[in-house]
Copies of this chain bind each other. A is one copy, B any other.
Amino acid sequence: ACGSGEDTPDAVDGGVSGPRVEWRLATSYPPSVDILYGATDRLAEQVSAATGGNFTIRVYAPGEIVPALQVMDSVMQGTTQCGFSPGYYYTGKHPALAFDTTVPFGFDPRQQVSWLTRGGGLELINSIYADFGIISFPMGNTAGQMGGWFREPVEGLSDLTGLRMRIPGIGGEIMSRLGVTVQVLGAPEIYPALERGAIDATEWVGPHDDEKLGFHQVAKHYYYPGWWEPGSTASLMISREAWDELPTAYQEILKTACGDILSWTLAGYDEANPAALQRLIQNHGVTLHEFSSEIMEAAWRESNAYLEEQAAADPVFRTVFESFSAFRNQAFPYSAGNEGSYARFTFPKIETG
């Protein structure tokens, strides 16, 4: 072996060598959100293993360096070289960052990945991130989210009027147009608020993540689908300056790991959600409901109206929206046909056990 001095590149193991690089990563997901937190652990392991331990990434949970909603800021300021967070947390910096994650009645998980990686979406999104000194790669996928937890059933629009629901982001904006009194609460505040009746309903992610927060103990009515987050993806946001300083081999390793983990997180939710939902129904007396067509139709109308308004107000938003719409106009009918036909015939052949 050559170069075993203290500040010389060295193969710690793995049979390769390269410069020593130590990065910090801030994530928006606490360890309890284990699949998405697991994404960052996996990133650190893969990057280290692929570089013989020379490129290390230390993961910081929310609050350790920055709060959950300031991950992008931390990367912009160079506090961390990278961060893992969904773009739609940062629509205050630019409204079109919503498309990096998901929008109401947007893409399902596969369509979202396809639009980003094959349909030109990521180039558009990264042209926005570039203004903040960031380059991003999609690295997490939650599967289609659920419609959330309600203390009482909601049948039609009249049941939404005045309902106090915790729902952030664009989903909250649309719900507000449907008459809901929207509240925004961080994860630790939701359960207590629901328990003491300060809110009537909340949404979170899906069965696997929701089960751990225990909403089923105080709200027994679980609705689907989560039309405001049909295919949420989260991104690895990387400081452009830190990226440019990486050896090109490390850039490749990092980028490839993001692609692997994007698929791996979705596979994780697809494996964990069915069992979690079964437990919620069978062991915890949860009743499953589908949103009524009255609510769905109104949500569809208001969601499209909202996106059109934003597009009219902001040219960058319009550019991204036009790309999104063109992709959606082809993807939706195709998915409804071939694979939709398979799903409609086959999936109901097996009933919930």
Contacts and interface: CB of A to CB of B under 8 A. Distances in A.
A206 B16 contact: no
A288 interface: yes
Contact of A334 (B250, B274, B300): B274
Nearest to A109: B110
A7 interface: no
Interface in A102-137: 105, 108-111, 113-115, 117-119
Interface in A211-264: 224-227, 230, 247-250, 252-253, 256-264
Q: How many copies does the complex hold?
A: 2
A248 B109 contact: no
How many chain A residues sit at the interface, stated as a range, is 35 or more
Contacts of A115: 271
B270 A50 contact: no
26 contacts: A14-B248, A15-B18, A16-B247, A108-B343, A110-B110, A117-B267, A118-B272, A144-B339, A206-B338, A224-B337, A224-B342, A225-B338, A230-B342, A256-B260, A259-B264, A263-B263, A271-B327, A274-B333, A274-B334, A288-B337, A328-B350, A329-B353, A332-B347, A332-B348, A336-B347, A340-B347
Interface of A: 2-3, 11, 13-19, 46, 49-52, 105, 108-111, 113-115, 117-119, 143-144, 146, 206, 224-227, 230, 247-250, 252-253, 256-264, 266-268, 270-275, 277-278, 288, 290-291, 293, 296, 300, 327-353
